[in-house]
Amino acid sequence: MEGPSSRLPATTQDGPLWLAGRTDSGRDAESDPARDIKTQFRVCRFIMETGVKLGMRSVPVATACVLYHRFFERVNMRAYEPYLVAMSCVYLAGKVEEQHVRTRDIINVSHRYFNSSSAPLECDKEFWDLRDSVVQCELLILRQLNFHVSFEHPHKYLLHYLLSVKSLVNRHAWSRTPVAETSWALLRDCYHGVMCIRHIPQHIAIATLYLALNSYGVEMPVGEREWWQVLCEDVTKADIEAVISDLLQLYDMEAKCI
Amino acid sequence: MDRELLRHCLAYHGESLFNKLKCEQTENPDFQAVVSDLCKATYESGGEGHGNPLVEQFIARKADILFCPTWKTATHQEEEHEEEEDAAEPYAIMPPLELFMEVSYDERRAMLYRDLERGDIVVGRINNIREYGFFLTLLCTAGGLKRDIEDLELSALCHIREIPSTGSHDDPLSYYQIGDFIRAAVKDIDRYQEKITISLQQASLSPSLEHIKLGVLPREELPIHYGRSVRAAADSSETYRCILKSCHGYHNPSVVEYLLEKVGVSDTHPPSMMRGLQSKLFQAEDFASAIRKKQSSSWALKCVRAGVDHFKHGRYVEAMNEYNKALDIDTNNVEALVARGALYANKGSIMKAITDFELALESCPDHRNAKKYLCQTLVERGKQLEEQEKLVTAEGLYRRALSLDDLNPEAQEALHKITDTIQKSIRLREEALAKEQVKATSSQTSAEKLRKILKEEKRMKKKRKRSASSSPSSSTSSRRNSSSSSSSSSSRRRSKKKKKKRRRSERGSKRHRRISSRESRRSEGKSEKDRKEEEEEEEEEVEWYPAPPNTTGTFLNQKGGPGFGERDEEEEEVEEKNSEEKRITQLYSLSAASDDEESDSSRRERKRRDRAEGGTKRSKGSQSRSPERRSKSRERKDKSRERGKGDNRKDRRDSDSKRRSSLEENRKRRVSCSSAESEYSRKSSLKSEYLGNSGSASKHVESRMRHDSSKRNSFDGGRYENIEEAGREKDRKGKVEEERRRSDGGNSKRLEGVGNHNKQSGLTSMPGERAKKDLPTNLLDIFNQIAQFEKEKGVRPK
């Protein structure tokens, strides 16, 4: 574990200047956890944006975020260049979720992310160095995570829940109300923070659906049990509230971070 | 903002949300526009405030996104096909949620009556059958709506009207039994009296469900969610989660994509509530593919530059490598293609160079260098071709070069030169060709003619032998052949030629020929004589047309005649329409109809016999002749149809020319032997061609013509002759009508006789003719004239 961790920052340092320069601000700061959270948020935003520009689906992007969060769960935020890790996470997630993304595209998109409206990279040493770092970092992540790189995501659950809930609601009311879009957006947004690995996938799915239904004031029939109790027996109202409050914090964070 | 949605939300959340909204959305003009309206709604409903202020805060802040009309991306794609994909369940089909929620009986019932609509599908079991319909106990819903309704004791009536009857005489209800599972469409719901009527008519389904078949349902085909809910209801340990995980569909690796599409959310432009991730903020040039493209072309250019450098220093191999690398990086890179093309051209690979330049111009049509080089290379290539004597291709290349650069002096010069050469050579060739053709036609025709005659003779002999030994019916066919052969041997060139063609080609082409000849004849000026002749001709033609059903003669089987004629026509039509697969069945039907045919022919025979010339021989075997003949002719037809497609055109063409040459002769002959009888003999070959292979069909030209023209048009692909012909046919049809009318007026007998006769003439005809053949030609002519005369007078010799 020593090898890569000592070597990798070095490669990033002398490799892509734009990447190194970017992180300086975060690097020299004091060990403020709030700052870490903000950095995390920014990096996750970076992953999200990159994912969209690379045409990645939601699940690979979610995997990339989870990889990222899990990685920095284990290592010190300051030991590695978070954006490089993020790029590698995107690359690795593409492999894990069977939607291969090419390093070249990742590097291009990232480069443009940091240097907006700049010309694409030349095919020179800088590029190849960067490419090497991404691949190296991917190996590092794999080792750090002990090759546990496939995760269960709430996406599947959410979609099935959506269909079940839809059947309960009058079809016209449903078609008027963008519950599906909202809950999907909420679910994607969850991945901006560590909450995506703190909560059980089912709970996240239920909470996002709950929030979406709640936002539009969609009323569900009530029986002996609530609809969300049925979907997952062990979920409590408190669980849902916890997820929702975490999620809402992320939205607050956006205003602060970006 | 979606006002309706917002109002609903406010009614749910109450005043506190409204206040927050007013706070948060002050700058949103959309909100300001609807605020007063919402104000009322909020206070009216007096929503009880569902608590969580954080959620309300969130809603208030994101209201512009949440209630934006464009936020909803899902189009209202009605309850898709789903269901019935059982085996390959693409996602987990779950039992209705209310089953697990244990929603009360009343509420569920109310919900069902609220949400069930016309066109929905329900599944139930028949519990009662009455004379006016049957009653169904509803078990579950199918299609889009999934509800747990089994224990709701819902009964639905399916009225007898709504049951599609399978047989007209049967009681549709007899197909249904108590206990049957039925899938039916909801026809009507009376929400107040809580009555449901259902229908088994496919038409009563909503359009999105149309593909689902209504009616009796085997137990195995009951909806999946129903089966699962039965299991879940029976076993309380079967929770939603358990069932979900046990479903195949849940483990489908692409279940997310599938369901996203189903719920209508885009995953390439995913929604987000984050301000910074709104898809409108993403710019096209930031996407990976756009950057890659740009990058590739710049990398490729770099390589090209290096390659050009190599090229300038004469290092062609290195240059080529660089160019190829550039094209590897960026296929269709214009610069690389042009540079490589230039290199190819320099090294003499002109074709490769042209390909490269063309590719370059394809993606960049205004590339100056590419144009220039391509122009030069084309001229170069043209010169090469010129050396190889491929003048036309070379000329094309020069022209292309000029089209790229019309001032290129080299190309201009080359083009001038080559056009001269080409014209010269064309002239030479034409002359040579003409000579050759003359030679070829003369030699070919005579040789072939001889061959034909010999063959015909041989066949005739064979047939005769066979017919002698076999039934009289086969003798017909032999007679047919013999007659035709005899006619061929009667020193008539034209008929011989035609006959040979007839054997090979299908009737369509024959008619073409016939027509074209007619046309040419016509075009040769219209002297009095000619016109008469023409009229005659027309009459002749008309004579072959179907005898109108109501033209009854004084024939023996007079009663049957018209009816049969009609029927025949129908048969013919059927025959025409049906393709060859159906041949066999037709054969049956036709042979069944052979009795009619027989009587027809016998009548014809009788008439014939009454005529002046030796009909006695002919009447023999006429009784049994027709069926055999029919089938034979059909066989022939089929064969010739197959063959004819290919030969058809060619045949027609050369026959046209020959026809024209023999035209003179024809005309003379026609004048001299204008009597109907002799016409037959002559026409026996001609007409049979004209009418197609089946002599029997001549009666039905009209029906056939229609088919023919369409058919031929289809395979001849819009040759102008066809069009012409179609018009002509129409003309002719009109004439037929006219003729028919006339014949109704008195000449009907004759006409029918003629028609009948002709019907046979092509194939069975002229045993008598053989006899006639023995007579000298002028005698024959005289006979014919007499007959014609008689006909004209409408007097029939008894």
Quick one: fold of A2-144? Cyclin A; domain 1 (1.10.472)
Looking at beta carbons, which residues of chain A come within 8 Å of B240?
A: 164, 230-232
B763: exposed, middle or buried (Cβ count in 10 Å: 0-12, 13-18, 19+): buried
Which of A110, A164, A191 should one mutate to test binding to chain B, selecting the residue with the greatest count of B CBs within 10 A? Answer: A164
CA distance A257 to chain B (A): 11
* Whole-number percent of chain B with pLDDT over 70: 54
Please check the confidence at residue B43 and state whether its pLDDT lies above 80.
no
Contact B292 A189 (CB under 8 A): no
Asked if residue A85 has pLDDT above 90, the reply is yes
Interface of A with B in 110-139 (CB under 8 A): 112-113, 116-117, 119-123
CATH (one of 3.40.1190.20, 1.10.472.10, 1.10.1740.10, 1.10.760.10) for A154-257: 1.10.472.10
Using alpha carbons, list the distances in angstroms from residue A206 to A141, A243, B60, B524, B574: 30, 9, 22, 93, 68
> B206: distance to nearest CA of chain A, Å?
14
pLDDT band, residue B619 (cuts 50/70/90): very low
Q: Specify the pLDDT at position B436.
A: 79
Lowest mean pLDDT among A170-179, B61-70, B724-733: B724-733
User: Is residue B28 classed exposed, middle or buried when 0-12, 13-18 and 19+ CB atoms within 10 A define those classes?
Assistant: middle
Which of A57, A121, A176 has its CB closest to that of B5? A176
Among candidates A170, A186, A251 on the partner chain, residue whose Cβ is nearest the Cβ of B115: A170
Nearest chain B Cα distance for residue A84, angstroms: 17
Q: How many CB atoms lie within 10 A of CB B223?
A: 23
Pairing of strands B155-159, B121-130: unpaired
Backbone region of residue B684 per phi and psi (left: phi > 0; alpha: psi in -120 to 50; beta: other values) = alpha
* Test mutation, B100, B102, B141, B250, chain A, max A CBs within 10 A: B100
A237 touches chain B (CB under 8 A): no
Per-residue CA distances from B428 to A211, B346, B432 (Å): 91, 37, 6
Residue B577 scores a pLDDT above 80: no
| Max mean pLDDT range (B184-188, B599-603, B714-718) | B184-188
Average pLDDT on B726-735 reads 51
Alpha-carbon torsion, ordered B462, B464, B468, B470, to 10 deg? 60
Q: Kindly state the percentage of chain B with pLDDT values over 90.
A: 0
- Single-letter residue type at B772: K
Map residue A32 onto helix, strand or coil.
coil
A98/B253 CB distance under 8 A = yes
pLDDT(A91) > 50:
yes
Q: Which residue in B has a C-alpha nearest to residue A217's C-alpha?
A: B9
Report for B66-80, B132-146, B707-721: range of highest mean pLDDT: B132-146
More confident residue, B590 or A185: A185
Residue span(s) of chain B under CATH 2.40.50.140 come to 86-261
Sign of CA dihedral A63, B251, A209, A202: negative
Asked whether the predicted pLDDT for residue B625 surpasses 80, the reply is no
Do β-strands B215-217 and B121-130 pair in parallel, antiparallel, or remain unpaired? unpaired
Contact residues, chain A, for B102 at CB < 8 Å: 223-225
SS3 call for B197: strand
Q: According to the 3-state scheme, what is the secondary structure of B248-272?
A: CHHHCCCHHHHHHHHHCCCCCCCCC
Average pLDDT over residues A2-26: 43
What torsion, rounded to 10 degrees, do the Cα atoms B448, B449, B452, B458 define?
Answer: -120
Give the gap in angstroms from C-alpha B297 to the nearest C-alpha of chain A.
10
pLDDT in tens, B435-459: 877 776 666 666 777 788 888 878 8
What DSSP assignment string belongs to A117-141?
Answer: TPPPPPSSHHHHHHHHHHHHHHHHH
pLDDT score for A94: 93
Report pLDDT digits (tens) over A211-225: 999 888 888 888 888
Q: Do B54 and A52 touch (CB under 8 A)?
A: no
- Given this model, what pLDDT does residue A215 score? 87
Distance in angstroms (rounded) separating the CA atoms of residues B573 and B569: 6
Of the candidates B156, B71, B177, the residue with the CA atom closest to the CA atom of residue B113: B156
Asked if A79 is an interface residue toward chain B (Cβ–Cβ < 8 A), one would say: no
SS3 B41: helix
Closest approach of chain B CAs to the CA of A87, in angstroms? 14
Q: For the residues of B510-547, what is the DSSP string, one character each? A: HHHHHHHHHHHHHHS---HHHHHHHHHHHHHHHHTSPP
Q: Which residues are CB-neighbours of B454 under 8 A, at least 6 positions away?
A: none
Nearest-CA distance from B254 to chain A in Å?
10
Q: What is the DSSP letter of B239?
A: -
Q: Which residues of A touch B268 (CB under 8 A)?
A: 52, 55, 57
Indicate the residue of B59, B76, B269 with minimum beta-carbon distance to A175.
Answer: B76
Q: What is the structure's pLDDT at B44?
A: 54
Out of B115, B268, B294, name the one closest to residue A55 (CB).
B268
Contact assessment for residue B196 and residue B154, using Cβ atoms and an 8 Å cutoff: yes
Which residue in B511, B590, B558, B496 sits closest to B756, CA to CA?
B558
A227 touches chain B (CB under 8 A): yes
Listed range (A76-80, A194-198, B591-595) with the worst mean pLDDT: B591-595
Q: Which of residues 162-221 of A touch B (CB under 8 A)?
A: 162-168, 170-171, 175-178, 180-182, 184-186, 188-189, 192, 202, 211, 214-219, 221
Mutate to test the interface with A, among B3, B120, B291 (most CBs of A within 10 A): B291
Concatenate the DSSP letters of all residues of B411-430 into one string. HHHHHHHHHHHHHHHHHHHH
pLDDT of residue B615: 40
Q: What is the mean pLDDT of residues B68-80?
A: 65
Instruction: List, in order, residues 6 or more apart from B104 with CB less than 8 Å away.
Output: A223
Find, among B675, B664, B665, B668, the residue nearest to B781 by Cα.
B675
Pairing of strands B181-190, B121-130: antiparallel
Least Cα separation, residue A73 to chain B (angstroms): 24
Domain boundaries, chain A: 2-144, 154-257
CA A211, B51, B10: angle at the middle one, nearest 5? 70
Kindly state the tokens that stand for B553: 């003669």
Q: Which residues pair with B217 in a beta bridge?
A: B181
Token pair listed for A75: 């290592």
Quote the minimal CA–CA distance from A247 to chain B in Å: 10
Closest CA to A216 of A241, A186, A255: A186
Strand residue runs (E) in B740-792: none
Which stretches does DSSP call E strand in B689-780?
A: none
Q: Is A52–B279 a contact, with Cβ atoms under 8 angstroms apart?
A: yes
Record: contact A232-B241, CB cut-off 8 A: yes
User: What letter does residue B693 receive in the DSSP assignment?
Assistant: S
**pLDDT, tens only, B77-97:** 544 554 445 557 788 888 888
CA distance A252 to chain B (A): 9
Cβ contacts from A onto B, under 8 A: 239
Rounded to an integer, the average pLDDT of B4-31 is 79
Phi, psi of B272 (to 5 degrees): -150, 145
Q: Is the pLDDT of residue B391 over 70?
A: yes
Radius of gyration of chain A (CA): 20
Mean pLDDT of chain B: 67
**Domain covering B86-261, topology:** OB fold (Dihydrolipoamide Acetyltransferase, E2P) (2.40.50)
More confident residue, B59 or B771: B59
Give the model confidence (pLDDT) of B238-288 as tens digits: 888 888 888 888 888 888 888 888 888 888 888 888 888 887 788 888 888
Q: How far is B20 from chain A (nearest CA, A)?
A: 14
- Alpha carbon separation from B373 to A131, B342, B369, B399 (Å, rounded): 40, 7, 6, 15
Q: What is the DSSP string of B368-390?
A: HHHHHHHHHHHHHHHHHHHHTT-
Angle, vertex CA A191, rays to CA A185 and CA A193, nearest 5: 130
Of B278, B59, B20, give the one whose Cα is nearest residue A211.
B59
Judged by CB atoms closer than 8 Å, whether chains meet at A188 and B272 is answered as yes
CA distance B728 to B204: 50
Give the burial class of A33: count Cβ atoms within 10 A of its Cβ; 0-12 exposed, 13-18 middle, 19 or more buried: exposed
pLDDT band for A87, please (50, 70, 90 cuts).
very high
pLDDT digits over B691-704, tens only?
Answer: 444 444 444 444 44
Higher-confidence residue: B452 or B716? Answer: B452
Calpha distance B75→A101 (Å, rounded): 30
Contacts of A182 in chain B (CB under 8 A): 66, 71, 271, 273
Q: What is the pLDDT of residues B108-126, one digit of tens each?
A: 888 888 888 888 888 888 8
Give pLDDT tens digits for B317-358.
889 998 998 888 888 888 888 888 888 888 888 888 888 888
pLDDT, residue B775, reads 56
Mutate to test the interface with A, among B120, B238, B286 (most CBs of A within 10 A): B286
Portion 22-61 of A in contact with B at CB < 8 A = 45, 48-49, 52-55, 57-59
Distance CA B695, CA B633 (A): 7
What whole-number distance in Å separates Cα of residue B405 and Cα of residue B371?
7
B277: three-class secondary structure by DSSP: helix
Q: How far apart are CA A257 and CA A192, in angstroms?
A: 12
Name the residue among A108, A116, A225 with its Cβ closest to that of B288.
A108
Nearest alpha carbon to residue B743 among B788, B676, B701, B794: B794
DSSP assignment of B445-479 equals HHHHHHHHHHHHHHHHHHHHHHHHHS-HHHHHHHH
> Which residue is it, tokens 């197909």?
B175
Residue range B129-154: average pLDDT?
83
Residue with the bigger pLDDT between A6 and A254: it is A254
Asked if A109 lies within 8 A of B287 by C-beta distance, the reply is: yes
Q: Which of the residues A108, A187, A227, A228 would you substitute to probe the B interface, choosing the one with the greatest number of B C-beta atoms within 10 Å?
A: A108
Tokens (6 digits) for B295: 């990058």
Lowest pLDDT segment from A248-257, B150-159, B224-233, B713-722: B713-722
* Residue A59's pLDDT band (cuts 50, 70, 90): very high
What tokens appear for B298 in the block? 């710049």
| Mean per-residue pLDDT, B158-184 | 80
Q: How confident is the model at residue B798 (pLDDT cuts 50, 70, 90)?
A: very low
Structure ipTM: 0.84
Of all residues in chain B, what percent are helix, strand and coil, respectively (each to 5)? 70, 5, 25
What is the pLDDT averaged over residues B44-64?
72
pLDDT band, very low/low/confident/very high, at A92 (cuts 50, 70, 90): very high
Dihedral sign for Cα atoms in the order B405, B411, B412, B415: negative
The per-residue pLDDT for A71 is 93
Separation between Cα atoms, residue B552 and residue B532, nearest integer Å: 29
Residue environment code for B290-327, b if the CB has 16+ CB neighbours within 10 A, otherwise e: bbbeebbbbbbbbbbebbbebbeeeeeeebbebbebbb
